[in-house]
Amino acid sequence: MNQILKYEVKITDRFKISMPSGSVVLCVQVQRNIPQIWVMGDLNDTPEERSFVIRGTGQSFDYLSNVERYVGTFQLDGGAFVGHLFEI
């Protein structure tokens, strides 16, 4: 049975999250000053590792060919940091 699940976003160039296979990434937003990814998935499905990358505004992006999808943009510290999250 599908549920809405939430995972913390690590503020680093690249990171991985283990989530149920076939999960659909819905969005990224900041909750209580911590960026989170919300996904729709079935906790009974086999876990799979998914890879993500964060790029700040103005940063180079040398691996565009690996991007599967743009997830969203989020801001921290009152807009001092703007991150753009992609699944790769």
Cβ(17)–Cβ(37) under 8 Å? yes
CA atoms of 22 and 76, how far apart (whole Å): 29
pTM score of the predicted model: 0.89
Q: Residue 73's closest CA among 62, 65, 59?
A: 59
pLDDT single digits (tens) 2-61: 999 999 999 998 999 999 999 999 999 999 999 999 999 999 999 999 999 999 888 877
Instruction: Band the pLDDT of 65: cuts 50, 70, 90.
Output: low
Q: Quick one: DSSP state of residue 11?
A: S
pLDDT at 64 over 80: no
Q: Residue 3's closest CA among 55, 42, 47, 46?
A: 42
